[in-house]
Structure 1
């Protein structure tokens, strides 16, 4: 056990692909630095006590040890304060805590894209409406007038805002390699903010049981360079114009609708 704990602490983790994953990974590592020595200390004391008193047939129990009680109370308080402080700093990050919209989605507001969704801090951020349904994912790029099914492409090193909602039941958007997980609820938006530093392909799953097709409800998330992203948008718009069966034009707005809640 001692060797396993030392190995886990000593091994350098793989580089995180997104800011979200980096924050979570760093928190886990900080907590491991605290938990491993405590586990080693407890096991050491246990084995020592067993070994020392192995031949004691008539042990006398300790009735009171005020110094020991004060020591472990203070030590426990320090550990809990550290864990709380480290966790609180991570939870404060806008990349970890979901951003809620300021209003319910209006069914008759089709002329306003993302009405009620949170507004990005960065004007250059990419916004994508994610509509979960049984059993697939629809990705709408309002500013680009592009819609895809089960495929989302975003640029690297850019803030991405995924505005999540659902059509009929609760789903959950989960991209484990990027540290993303959030519920998609009918009638409202939950917003995930992320930024991915490396190009690559990742898998999105539904992590909320939603019926018979739940296990097959996944999508591909592809991160590309900024130039390739613009080329991809142009290709999708061209495909829409020629009647492509892969993409459908689901939004005629330019994404400039009025929204109130800052992210």
Structure 2
């Protein structure tokens, strides 16, 4: 009876742990893939942890009064079993991680050396800075945004519409979006945790993030790389809008002069745009 109760208690603990790691509704393809990978790895790790801890506790309790311990006897079957089991677990972890990490939404690989000039020509013609590293979209209806980081703020440049913003990064939901990020001074990092986005902004080059937001809403964007005394205030809103509202937002920014800023950010935003535009190719 005691063993039965312990077994039921163990099953209850496992069920609660599984419920605790059940992910919420994903806000983007990036976030969903990362969450699903973490969940899959937890489903493997939790039973192993419980098994190891159960064996450890059992051994400590059973042999706590043993004053004459004897060396363990060789058990070849047991050694082969746990060696094969470990190999299978590691193979699963490796393959599951590779499938996610190799996906363009998680790690967008720059175009091959032979294709890079063409991709750079497709992307760089409308960007404020002519630098290498930007990856051209493969989808005809994809949206491109240039994210320029500087101490201590952001410039969000929409090449097709000629719109600039310093406070809001707006994108349409259900559409592939390419974010080309760079910096004018030191290393920064674009980070939107709720959408599973993070990428370094490095002076002299572009890093491209590919994303597809599935849920509308406003999400916090901030710099994740310490960049000086104003680092903590380097914030912005990433707003995901329905396609119709996104187009309306672009039209409003164009009609207002193509520079969407908030409060005192207007002067710093204009200065940053002028600085990067003046940089040599």
Answering whether residue 95 of structure 2 is matched by residue 85 of structure 1, we say: yes
Shift of 1:198: 1.2
Please name the residue that 1:76 is paired with. 86
Please name the residue that 2:164 is paired with. 147
* Structure 1: segments with no counterpart, 5+ residues: 252-263
3-state DSSP of counterpart to 2:51: helix
Please name the residue that 2:236 is paired with. 219
Worse-matched range after superposition: 3-12 or 117-126 = 3-12
Q: TM-score, normalized by length of structure 2? A: 0.80
3-state DSSP of counterpart to 1:144: coil
3-state DSSP of counterpart to 1:240: coil
Answering whether residue 15 of structure 2 is matched by residue 6 of structure 1, we say: yes
Please name the residue that 2:226 is paired with. 209
Superposition pairs for residues 30-179 of structure 1, below 5 Å? Answer: 30-62=40-72, 64-100=74-110, 102=116, 112-114=125-127, 115=130, 116=132, 117-179=134-196
Answering whether residue 255 of structure 2 is matched by residue 238 of structure 1, we say: yes
- Partners of 1:18 and 1:154 in 2: CA distance: 12
Residues 82, 218 of structure 1: alpha-carbon distance in 2 compared, 3 angstrom cutoff: same
Residues 96, 207 of structure 1: alpha-carbon distance in 2 compared, 3 angstrom cutoff: same
Answering whether residue 238 of structure 2 is matched by residue 229 of structure 1, we say: no
- Partners of 1:217 and 1:61 in 2: CA distance: 61
3-state DSSP of counterpart to 2:246: helix
- Alpha-carbon RMSD: 2.3
What CA deviation, in whole Å up to 9, does each residue of 1:88-139 have, x standing for no partner?
Answer: 0001210000344747xx9xxxx93245421101110110000010111110
Shift of 1:158: 0.6
Superposed structure 1 runs of 4+ greater than 3 Å apart: 1-6, 98-103, 243-251
- Partners of 1:90 and 1:72 in 2: CA distance: 27
Task: Report the structure, 1 or 2, having the larger helix content.
Answer: 2
Q: TM-score, normalized by length of structure 1? A: 0.86
3-state DSSP of counterpart to 1:37: helix
Worse-matched range after superposition: 26-35 or 93-102 = 93-102
Contact 1:135 1:216 in 2 (8 A): yes
Contact 1:99 1:192 in 2 (8 A): no
What CA deviation, in whole Å up to 9, does each residue of 1:27-64 have, x standing for no partner?
Answer: 01110110010001001111111122122111102153
- Partners of 2:39 and 2:162 in 1: CA distance: 42
Please name the residue that 1:195 is paired with. 212
Q: Count matched residues.
A: 244
* Structure 2: segments with no counterpart, 5+ residues: 1-8, 275-281
Higher RCO (CA-CA < 8 Å; seq separation 6+):
1
